[in-house]
Amino acid sequence: MTDKALVKDAMRVLKETSRTFYIPITFLGTNLKLAVGTAYLCMRALDEIEDNEKVDNAVKNDILQKIKTLFQYPFNEAAYFEALGSEKDKMPEVTLRMKDWIEVCPEGARPYVFRACEEMAGGMGKWALKNFEVKTREDLDEYTYYVAGLVGRLLSELWEWDTGLVTDHELAIGYGRGLQAVNILRNEEEDLDERGVSFVPDGWTRKELFAYADEQLAYGDAYIESVRSNKKVYMFAKLPHVLAHKTLKVMKDGREKMTRAEVEQTVEEVKAEADE
């Protein structure tokens, strides 16, 4: 597959994997579009290992700790598949094509993406070994950092790499945590029923979870204001954050999630702002 064809195919997989994330990526310039898009695919590849219900948690940790050591260039695909071992056949396309995503990633962005993926793989493995048992607020902060907060930090590093835009990394981490906190609230029952896991600290109710999400989304509000000077970055960061705010309000009102029509309307409103 030629580079051009590989880029096009990476965008196809990105769109199929997460349409709501694909849309804001289209707001970015070419370099950032490729860097952020392939970073998402690499991290989604890891996430699919962590979430796989057919793989034992101890095995997940073993796989992820082995993969953690592979984030360098050139990427050793043979060692990657060896790490997946007999679980390879249980993995989706996005996980099996890690080498392709790395090839598409702009060379200058790779060190940032590699460092984030290395940290994520290690953290996800650690939490798999702990059977995702969140007991305290500190546990919740750590888990949400590994699966989302460090993504916010990576985005900040990529903004500075490509545009020179300098942002507060703590706000960026809060931005990522806010999106994840809303996901935890939205998927609380499903996680418990289908995976047998709960990301709710001992003694917490939905009330405390809502407060936690509000707290993290407030960091996200400040983060988005801090990137307003770069319209493309601002629009990218804004869409998922607005959707998270609206989803949280819907759940506070007693509904499970936004309707498809509400999501589509929100997307169109943000896209219209991007076109102004």
Tens digit of each residue's pLDDT (9 = 90 or more) over 140-158: 999 999 999 999 999 999 9
Separation between Cα atoms, residue 151 and residue 148, nearest integer Å:
5
pTM > 0.85: yes
Task: Provide the pLDDT for residue 122.
Answer: 98
Domains and CATH numbers, the chain: 1-121 (no CATH), 132-276 (1.10.600.10)
Nearest to 35 by CA among 111, 90, 109: 109
Residue 275 has pLDDT above 80, yes or no: no
Tens digit of each residue's pLDDT (9 = 90 or more) over 167-210: 999 999 999 999 999 999 999 999 888 888 999 999 999 999 99
Averaged over 104-109, what is the pLDDT? Answer: 97
Separation between Cα atoms, residue 160 and residue 93, nearest integer Å:
31
Averaged over 76-97, what is the pLDDT? Answer: 98
Residue 105 has pLDDT above 90, yes or no: yes
Tens digit of each residue's pLDDT (9 = 90 or more) over 111-142: 999 999 999 999 999 999 999 999 999 999 99
More confident residue, 229 or 271: 229
Tens digit of each residue's pLDDT (9 = 90 or more) over 13-59: 999 998 878 999 999 999 999 999 999 999 999 999 999 999 999 99
Task: Provide the pLDDT for residue 271.
Answer: 81
Separation between Cα atoms, residue 212 and residue 271, nearest integer Å:
29
Task: Provide the pLDDT for residue 196.
Answer: 86
Computed over every residue of the chain, the mean pLDDT equals 95
Task: Provide the pLDDT for residue 274.
Answer: 66
Residue 276 has pLDDT above 70, yes or no: no
Task: Provide the pLDDT for residue 132.
Answer: 95
Identify the burial level of 275 via C-beta atoms within 10 angstroms of its C-beta, where 0-12 means exposed, 13-18 middle and 19 or more buried: exposed
Residue 251 has phi, psi (to 5 degrees) of -70, -35
Pull the structure tokens for residue 2: 């030629």
Tens digit of each residue's pLDDT (9 = 90 or more) over 55-72: 999 999 999 999 999 999
Contacts (Cβ under 8 Å, ≥6 apart) of 163: 32, 230, 233
The region of weakest confidence among 95-99, 101-105, 150-154, 257-261 is: 257-261
